[in-house]
Amino acid sequence: MTAPLHEPHPSRPRLPDTQQGMRRRNLSRVMHTVNAEGPLSRAAVASRIGLTRAAVSTLVDELIRSGLLEELGPERPGRVGRPGSALALSGHGPAGIGAEIGVDHLAVCAVDLRGGIRAQAVRRGTNRGRSPEPVIAELTSLVRQVVAEAGGEGLWPAGLAVAVPGLVARDARTVVRAPNLDWHDTDLGALLPDDLPVTVDNEANFGGLAELWLGEGTPRDFLHVSAEIGIGGAAVVDGRLLRGTRGFAGELGHVPVRPEGPQCACGGRGCLEQYAGEEAVLRAAGLEPGEHRVEFLAERAAAGDEDVRRALQGAGTALGIALTGAVNLLDPETVVLGGALAALAPWLLPSLKAELARRTAGPACAVTVSRLGSQGPLLGAAHSVVRGVLDDPAAVGVRA
Amino acid sequence: MTAPLHEPHPSRPRLPDTQQGMRRRNLSRVMHTVNAEGPLSRAAVASRIGLTRAAVSTLVDELIRSGLLEELGPERPGRVGRPGSALALSGHGPAGIGAEIGVDHLAVCAVDLRGGIRAQAVRRGTNRGRSPEPVIAELTSLVRQVVAEAGGEGLWPAGLAVAVPGLVARDARTVVRAPNLDWHDTDLGALLPDDLPVTVDNEANFGGLAELWLGEGTPRDFLHVSAEIGIGGAAVVDGRLLRGTRGFAGELGHVPVRPEGPQCACGGRGCLEQYAGEEAVLRAAGLEPGEHRVEFLAERAAAGDEDVRRALQGAGTALGIALTGAVNLLDPETVVLGGALAALAPWLLPSLKAELARRTAGPACAVTVSRLGSQGPLLGAAHSVVRGVLDDPAAVGVRA
């Protein structure tokens, strides 16, 4: 299994425009309509997607047989005409399994087609410097545990998506570089379960997708900026993640902020990460990187620690400079601060917004804060599998 | 008429997946196949697009009736079976009319479906500080002249696309800001001919599209960097121009290079344009902006002028810094230097490439030079109309 279904790889040929391809796209249209507006009667679905009620009934029957839609029973009486049965996405069919390999933890969850989290498991403990095999073995055992738990509720896994803190190739399985794990050119696809369709992606990408799918009022064009140890970016353009030729797009952390600034591990100088990355901010606050984490900064800033607040103000300024370049290049509707940055927003935003405003003719790009925080990548991973089912329900086999 | 057909605006609903929509898409598929590989027989077209020969014949007949395809007569004898008649795009049907409003000139051309330039007209003379009405009146008279000349060869205008040196709103008619013309919030759509479908776009966008459609070996993911008076950028992602929410994406000229550098007209400081824009380079070479233009720099550099060469080296360094950020964000396959930059490439490239390389882990992004040079925007405009015809041939009415 390669790239997720909802974002066909450019090299994958489109379905020819045949009756069969049309049927598959119409099945998807029914699923998306019920997802966006359900529960809905067959007649309501038909009117929403502009097909006849008979055509929609055939599609709906197939989706019910595959366990993707459920009938909730007759609509409440009192309406004119024969009562229709309301359709909803199934709460007992396929589930998306999301997994996250963090520097300090592993997490797995199962999400049903309705978006409900039905099972989860977390293991704390550093993965820094561990080789991929034992880490993936542990992750796989968490996956088995979550799949078993979800299975107890009648759900079966439609696929597994894994978020990693590093650059992932467009094959959606090879980790090209994950500096904080010290993994290079690692084929995770070969280590992960082979009885499930598996997709591996960068955590910032899944964080951005989570914001697109689950954020409240998130537009279809935005730049998502997140931080755990490094700084990650994900550009969503017209509702699609911008991936780049090699899959490396969105590397905001390595945009030069001050071209003759400190040396960066990427080979550059004065990259954003040298001013707004975890280590840089901890050092600027007079704290020892390694002993403390980015979450700690929020506590200290809230408690009024002036050194921490000054360090975060400096990070906000650097973010504002890098984002000025990014906004000029991408022209997003908003910039969304996510991941650990969401918790630090009160102290980052004033200097960040001031910098953006003073560098922009006309109104500056809006900056908002994600409500998903550090849950974004895990939820984005699980939902990417669910979106794959909505996008091509015919590709999902029927299970008992 | 709003945005070009080949790039549907996000708010434009897709055609419903009906027989009628399928027919329109299949007509387009035939046109694109003949464009990419023609002349081809009906049988060859059928095998390329995976439809029956009978289905393709019906589509082809319709396209011949509309004047979009031509039969070249029987294929050369000697092949097995009944000889088929080779199909080609019509050289006498619709034409794309491209126009360019430059700071120092106006230009118009007509391109047929095969990509041949069939008529053109140019008027030299500055447009700086002139109000839009007389400029557009002059441009319109050039358009009439070119349309009449093309009409003499049996071509009729399928649409007019106008390249302007400024930011254009997503309505594809309003010039929001063209600093070098001193135009602001100008509705060019209201001034241009109303008997033709009209599209207005930024010259850098049309330059990037020209590179995509006409460049030799240009990939489907690249960043096009051009310069006339200002510096323009156009990001092409998976064969589509990245437009941004307001239509302002690709503003590479205002990416901060040195955050405390010289004040820029955009409101920022140390933007790329302050180091690599025409004025900045002329000043750095000890020349007077206004008296000389960017083309003059190439002559002087070629003649061995050390001041000019040093100025261009500095511009290359600044380009390298800004492009490092852009490459990190967009991950293009190549960067293409176009417009006036193409002529300056020999003196820009060494420092530009060195800067990109020293700031990049792993192999740096490739940098190539466009062959279209300053013809790009005009050709891109004309071809955008032609691509619109290929993308939805059914939308083009039949003319005598």
The chain A residue lying nearest B237, using CA atoms, is A244
Residue to substitute from A20, A167, A329, A352, interface B, most B β-carbons within 10 A: A329
Determine the topology of domain A216-371 in CATH: Nucleotidyltransferase; domain 5 (3.30.420)
Dist. CA A361–CA B151, nearest whole Å: 44
Q: Show the tokens assigned to A186.
A: 């690692």
Residue A271, min C-alpha distance to chain B (Å): 9
pLDDT at position B19, please?
A: 76
- CATH 1.10.10.10 given to domain B19-89: yes
Write the secondary structure of A39-72 as one string of H (helix), E (strand) and C (coil): CECHHHHHHHHCCCHHHHHHHHHHHHHCCCEEEE
Dist. CA A286–CA A281, nearest whole Å: 9
Residue A231 backbone phi and psi in degrees, to 5? -115, 130
Dist. CA A163–CA A374, nearest whole Å: 12
Predicted confidence band of residue B6 (pLDDT cuts 50, 70, 90):
very low
pLDDT at position B77, please?
A: 53
Residue A233 DSSP SS3: strand
Whether pLDDT at B31 is above 60: yes
Identical fold for domains B19-89 and B216-371, yes or no, is no
pLDDT at position B79, please?
A: 52
Whether pLDDT at B13 is above 70: no
- The answer to whether the Cβ–Cβ distance between B358 and A268 falls below 8 Å is yes
Chain A residues with CB under 8 Å of B265 CB are 361
DSSP-H helix ranges across A277-305:
278-284, 294-302
Dist. CA B63–CA B65, nearest whole Å: 5
Residue ranges covered by each domain of chain B: 19-89, 94-208+377-395, 216-371
Whether pLDDT at B73 is above 80: no
Kindly report, residue by residue over B140-189, the tens digit of the pLDDT. Answer: 999 999 999 999 999 999 999 999 999 999 999 999 999 889 999 999 99
Kindly report, residue by residue over B319-377, the tens digit of the pLDDT. Answer: 999 999 999 999 999 999 998 899 999 999 999 999 999 998 778 899 999 999 889 99
Chain B residues with CB under 8 Å of A254 CB are 324, 328
Predicted confidence band of residue B288 (pLDDT cuts 50, 70, 90):
confident
In Å, how far from its chain's centre is CA B24?
25
- The answer to whether the Cβ–Cβ distance between A359 and B269 falls below 8 Å is yes
- The answer to whether the Cβ–Cβ distance between B331 and A249 falls below 8 Å is yes
Residue B28 backbone phi and psi in degrees, to 5? -65, -40
Give the one of B18, B51, B251 whose C-beta lies nearest to A328's C-beta: B251
Predicted confidence band of residue B229 (pLDDT cuts 50, 70, 90):
confident
Residue whose token pair is 């319109």: B140
Kindly report, residue by residue over B256-271, the tens digit of the pLDDT. Answer: 999 999 999 888 999 9
Q: Where are the beta strands (DSSP E) in chain B?
A: 69-74, 85-89, 94-101, 105-112, 117-124, 156-164, 167-168, 174-178, 183-187, 198-202, 222-227, 231-237, 240-241, 334-337, 366-369
Q: Find residue B186's DSSP bridge partners.
A: B175
Residue B3 DSSP SS3: coil
pLDDT at position A9, please?
A: 35
Kindly report, residue by residue over B101-138, the tens digit of the pLDDT. Answer: 998 899 999 999 999 999 999 999 999 889 999 999 99
Q: Where are the beta strands (DSSP E) in chain A?
A: 69-74, 85-89, 94-101, 105-112, 117-124, 156-164, 167-168, 174-178, 183-187, 198-202, 222-227, 231-237, 240-241, 334-337, 366-369
Which strand ranges, in their side-by-side order, compose the sheet holding B222-227?
B240-241, B231-237, B222-227, B334-337, B366-369
Kindly report, residue by residue over B191-222, the tens digit of the pLDDT. Answer: 999 999 999 999 999 999 999 999 988 999 99
Give the C-alpha distances (Å, rounded to integers) separating B24 from A59, A200, A205, A377. Answer: 24, 37, 35, 40
Chain A residues with CB under 8 Å of B361 CB are 177, 265-267
Compute how many other C-beta atoms are within 10 angstroms of the C-beta atom of residue A357. Answer: 14
Mean pLDDT score of chain B: 90
- The answer to whether the Cβ–Cβ distance between B252 and A359 falls below 8 Å is no
Taking Cα atoms as reference points, which of A10, A118, A15, A11 lies closest to residue A391?
Answer: A15
Give the C-alpha distances (Å, rounded to integers) separating A33 from A37, A39, A47, A48, A71. Answer: 6, 9, 11, 7, 15
Q: Show the tokens assigned to A29.
A: 């249209």
Dist. CA A190–CA A173, nearest whole Å: 8
Q: Please indicate whether residue A85 or residue B190 has the higher confidence score (pLDDT).
A: B190
The chain A residue lying nearest B269, using CA atoms, is A359
pLDDT at position B12, please?
A: 35
In Å, how far from its chain's centre is CA B398?
27
Residue A22 backbone phi and psi in degrees, to 5? -65, -40
Compute how many other C-beta atoms are within 10 angstroms of the C-beta atom of residue B377. Answer: 35
Mean pLDDT, each 10-residue run in order, chain A (400 residues): 37 55 91 92 92 93 94 64 77 96 95 96 93 97 98 96 95 92 94 95 96 93 89 94 94 95 90 93 88 83 96 97 97 94 95 94 89 93 97 75
- The answer to whether the Cβ–Cβ distance between B243 and A50 falls below 8 Å is no
CATH of domain A94-208+377-395: 3.30.420.40
Whether pLDDT at B379 is above 80: yes
Taking Cα atoms as reference points, which of A294, A260, A290, A288 lies closest to residue A276?
Answer: A294
DSSP single-letter state for residue B256: B
Q: Show the tokens assigned to A7.
A: 């974002």
